[in-house]
Amino acid sequence: MSERIAIYPGSFDPVTLGHINIVERTSKIFDHIHVVVMHNPSKKYLFSVEERVKLTGLSLEHLSNVSVDYHCGLMVDYARKKGVKCVIRGLRAVTDFEFELQMANANRSMCPGLEIFFLMSDVTYSFISSSMVKEVAKFGGDVSTWVSPLIERELKLKFVQT
Ligand code: ADP
């Protein structure tokens, strides 16, 4: 039987416990997961693409069947390049649904045969987003239950520098 391989694309700016939970759960279902740090040069990020790849990789190093890569461009081009037909996305609340539905249909129209697998966020992490983490950390708020200690430290360093 061929290997079940999936990609999990996102900005991961920065990776949160919500993202990690999705990868931990799906890594038990798929043989291998490529977590893909997406980079759009016209978007503003707090962490550079190199930093996002490094921090996401360190946060997932306990999972032996997960690798972290980056891609600048369309997710479907990355999937084609890797010959991967499965994409994982996390769903937190109904507010994610409309955007994810539109993206899933657009991606499937560009790349027929692609399947998008949605996993409901664990209730503990369902309100966590990278943008909220950044906003709270910027003002010195406690994000220790939303991100790993590594990311918490990196956020503090970023906001001391800026
Ligand atoms: P994007 O820039 O595509 O929104 P993100 O890095 O924010 O990328 O998210 C990548 C994927 O992880 C998306 O499918 C998003 O819905 C999901 N995700 C983000 N935060 C959480 C969370 N707290 N719980 C579950 N899934 C999440």
Q: Ligand 1 in contact with 78 (CB < 6 A)? A: no
SS3 32: strand
The string of pLDDT tens digits covering residues 64-107 is 999 999 999 999 999 999 999 999 999 998 889 999 999 999 99
Burial grade of 2 (CB within 10 A; 0-12, 13-18, 19 or more): exposed
Parse the chain into domains and list their residue ranges.
5-161
Q: pLDDT tier at 17 (50, 70, 90 boundaries)? A: very high
Look up the pTM and report it. Answer: 0.95
- Provide the pLDDT for residue 53: 98
- For ligand 1, the distance from its centroid to the CA atom of residue 1, given in whole angstroms, is 30
Instruction: Give the tokens for residue 149.
Output: 């200690």
Is 19 marked active-site?
yes
CB atoms within 10 A of CB 148: 17
19 CA to middle of ligand 1, Å?
A: 6
User: How far is the CA of 48 from the CAs of 37, 39, 67, 128, in angstroms?
Assistant: 10, 9, 18, 21
> Which residue, by CA, sits nearest to atom 18 of ligand 1?
90
What does the alpha-carbon distance between residue 61 and residue 78 come to, in Å, rounded to a whole number?
22
Which 3 state secondary structure label does DSSP give 40? coil
CATH of 5-161, one of 1.20.20.10, 3.20.20.70, 3.40.50.620, 3.40.50.300: 3.40.50.620
Nearest to 9 by CA among 63, 72, 54: 72
Q: What is the pLDDT of residues 114-146, one digit of tens each?
A: 999 999 999 999 999 999 999 999 999 999 999
Q: Which of 27, 121, 130, 134 is catalytic?
A: 130
Residue 1 has pLDDT above 80, yes or no: no
- In angstroms, the CA 103 to CA 93 distance is 16
